[in-house]
Structure 1
């Protein structure tokens, strides 16, 4: 398949707090685009502040997809994301608009770009239950160390607190004798879209300062009340609550840490996550990187617009 017949697509990726949302709106205006969230946690309703979900005012009338489509107690995985986003891309393109994926969940976005195949039928419920019980009694680090022994690459890319994905990777190995890493390596390394892949970054010190300021802003905006509402609903053993910004405050509500320590842990976890995001994007994907703190913002946008125009043979709307 050549680029003439592939659907055009823009992807904006990078660590948390780097400025993806602002750029996405400018690009959507310039190219008559619609935005698809590439964040695995923004799918959940009622989890707005902690996931830095774009507000209605910030959207400026640009249609957004893959936001608020799941209840917090519902599971959500990369295979579902791939299916829903692939459908959204087709629908958006069919209306003559340009789809723009924006987010920081690298594996999810890569699964869409390369159309990974997932063997959802491979499962062993009893084995899964044993691992879930083990995680409950001996801690998440125990099952994560089991994964590290058989599939170090997956263990590196999956955080110990993402228990569902850790257990799923172990279940795949248990059922097939092949690791998730081996299975992903056998996937076709070819993008099914004519895609311009934009990577955003800023100086590390600046990024960490932005992350700390964002957390303080989230608290001011009502993060504690947002998480408390989920806590009071009894939501606990579900994937959504493992998200950064939620698990730390749960520990505070449970009386394990002080409020100050919970917020400091939230900042630290966010900084570590940003570092892992950058490592993923650099090692796994071929992005065109733009340092967003080298020049003033408007000049950088023009540079990015010129890159996309050349890459996708498009012409930006000069009225923007």
Structure 2
């Protein structure tokens, strides 16, 4: 029999954390973070990392496992998550992968084989040098010419993924999406994929409010501490929430400009997340715009139970 796996996806600020906690409590679940940034220690506010008291006793995995100067890839995520799914199932519990990093989640749910796409370290170094001189935006423009889909779905701040997409095309004249499409169609798991969505205007208002709350909670101070510790020019601080505040710290923009950039980039990221999951994953969607949240969670619970039990 296949191991059970529930995945909860959706854009930032839609309500994935609360939903996952309630479902995990009801279904004897354990949560695996599917967020590529929550793996980093000391990056709490900008990643909207769940607090210990918010877990309500539900075990959480893959949070605070790396230092901010370390790299963490989709292959790293896959290699850590697969044994976690097995061990959680062996305990008689249900693993819930919860997050918004689409490629990370799909790599697990469909057991991507990464060795199929070649690499060229020298070319990668050339692109990294290009970023140093011209910046991530100019590198991102190169991607538009050869791989428009990746251009739309990969944020320029995630320059390592931009580099990887360019590297694959450089070597094969095929897009990284071509390699992904040749991955297995069937999941090795007894899989249920839940998508959370809501009216775009309401979602954007929630994102703006979340950013304001992050600032009040000390996001700028968190970023200043990381900057003072020498956490610069590495993968972790290219993320939305830190990139913008670093520009303020370095005097490139005003505080208010940094906050507005963060709101804008977060809204754009949410739009890309929805596009990715709708195009790349077999998801059953639940709209959280209206009505009682707990009523909607009960509906999702009944759906999951009907699929797995």
Per the normalisation by structure 2, the TM-score is 0.97
1:246 paired residue among 242, 249, 265: 242
- Residue 121 of structure 1 and its aligned partner are, at CA, apart by 8.5
Moved more, 45-54 or 199-208: 199-208
Report the counterpart of residue 77 of structure 1 in structure 2: 73
Report the counterpart of residue 166 of structure 1 in structure 2: 162
Distance 1:211 1:121 in 2: 36
Distance 1:310 1:290 in 2: 16
- Residue 120 of structure 1 and its aligned partner are, at CA, apart by 8.0
Moved more, 143-152 or 66-75: 143-152
Distance 1:140 1:230 in 2: 21
Deviation digits for residues 13-70 of structure 1, max 9, x if unmatched? 1111111101111111111110000000000000001000000000011110010011
SS in 2 for 1:119: helix
| 1:286 lines up with 2:274 in the alignment | no
Distance 1:103 1:155 in 2: 21
Report the counterpart of residue 145 of structure 1 in structure 2: 141
**Structure 1: 5+ residue stretches without partners:** 314-320
Report the counterpart of residue 87 of structure 1 in structure 2: 83
Report the counterpart of residue 317 of structure 1 in structure 2: none
**Structure 2: 5+ residue stretches without partners:** none
Distance 1:6 1:141 in 2: 43
SS in 2 for 1:244: coil
Per the normalisation by structure 1, the TM-score is 0.93
Report the counterpart of residue 111 of structure 1 in structure 2: 107
Query: Does the aligned pair in 1 maintain the 2:116–2:179 contact within 8 Å?
Result: no
SS in 2 for 1:67: coil
| 1:50 lines up with 2:46 in the alignment | yes
Report the counterpart of residue 101 of structure 1 in structure 2: 97
SS in 2 for 1:265: helix
1:121–1:283 CA distance, 2 compared to 1 (3 A): closer
Report the counterpart of residue 204 of structure 2 in structure 1: 208
Moved more, 253-262 or 120-129: 120-129
- Residue 226 of structure 1 and its aligned partner are, at CA, apart by 0.7
Q: How does 1:254-269 map to 2 (within 5 A)?
A: 254-269=250-265
Moved more, 254-263 or 136-145: 136-145
- Residue 294 of structure 1 and its aligned partner are, at CA, apart by 2.4
Distance 1:219 1:228 in 2: 12
Q: How does 1:18-29 map to 2 (within 5 A)?
A: 18-29=14-25
State the 4+ residue runs in structure 1 displaced beyond 4 angstroms: none
